[in-house]
Amino acid sequence: MRSGTRFIILGGFAVAGIVGGWIWMTSGNHARSQELVLYGTVDVRQVELSFNASERIGSVLVEEGDRIKQGELLGKLELEPFELAVDRAKAQIDVQQQVVDRLVAGTRPEEIREAEASLNSAEAELKDVKATFQRILTLKEKSVTTQQDLDDARSKLDTAEANVKLQQAALDLAIAGPRKEDIAEAKALLKRYKVEERQAEHDLTDAHLYAPSNGIIQERILEVGDMASPQKPVYTVALTDPVWVRAYVSETDLGKISEGMRAEVVTDSFPDKKYAGWVGFISPTAEFTPKPVETPELRTKLVYQIRVFVKAPNNELRLGMPATVHIPLNQQPTKNADTRPATSDTDSKHDKHDH
């Protein structure tokens, strides 16, 4: 009887162990089924900065490893040629502005009175020349003077009459003032000089190199005295915003995730830290699994690239750093990418851009 009881007790322990193991295994599988784990590397944008002008470099203001902020001055070309071009443009504007002002103001009253006086003098001279001509003509009829004297008097009369007409025309022009076409031409030339001034000032601005965004100087390529041009990078900069993990998901898991889903990122460098993130991009096309990606599936299978954007306020995530992405699958599906969690306005703008 005691042996039977012992058998029943041992059997009960065995059954309890089997049930407990089954419960433990099913709970573990259930927990794992509620989370998608992906492996990838940290990625950031890199840009090459160059001057938008051609001239020798006058100064470089940052070193490799320096952190830079958006709008910070990073370097300057030799500025004298650009400053001289601005001064020359301003001088042209000043001269042409005087021409326009003179034409718009029209003829001064003093100039009109001067033209009237010249006309009166010409008319008086004509009157005197006519009287002289009549006297010589009378003398010629009486054969008292020569034909040459008569011809000289007639020539002076013609000259005096032409001078009167000339002075009358000058007075008419003075009264009428400048032509509208002349004023329009002068104004057009002034506008051209102003455009040239803006271009010169723009070129002067291009002789300065500013940081387009926050980042870290990775490499300083050119030095003071080097010839710069838009085709020659001066710095290579790693942008610190945005930061994402480039990972790959298999086709069988593709339907489990969507853009905007929350995620957590863990790295070997900081194993105790979990970085909050979100799925910001899922590639619409498949590709073969890259060799660096560790997946339990065969490498010949097709996968889809995703980007998991990460909140990294301390800039601890560096380019190429291996990372593990945990995506909980018990999330409410998002209707569009705008419902994803955002770190800041800057993060949101970058995420929309990558779409």
pLDDT digits (tens, 9 = 90+) for 255-275: 888 898 999 999 888 888 899
Residue with tokens 């601890």: 316
pLDDT at 27 (0 to 100): 45
Total length of the chain: 355
Q: Check whether 142 has a pLDDT greater than 90.
A: no
Tokens of 182: 């002349």
User: Is the distance from CB of 341 to CB of 328 less than 8 angstroms?
Assistant: no
| Top-ranked range on mean pLDDT: pick from 56-70, 167-181, 313-327 | 56-70
227 vs 348 pLDDT, higher one = 227
| 103 φ/ψ angles, rounded to the nearest 5 degrees | -70, -40
Q: Residues 168-213: pLDDT tens digits?
A: 888 777 776 678 888 899 999 999 999 999 999 999 999 999 999 9
When the pLDDT of each residue in the chain is averaged and rounded to a whole number, the result is: 80
pLDDT at 77 (0 to 100): 96
Angle (CA) 117-118-119 rounded to 5° is 90
pLDDT at 325 (0 to 100): 92
pLDDT at 55 (0 to 100): 95
Cis preceding-peptide flag for 242 (omega within 30 of 0): yes
What is the average per-residue pLDDT within 347-353?
40
Q: Check whether 344 has a pLDDT greater than 50.
A: no
pTM (predicted TM-score):
0.60
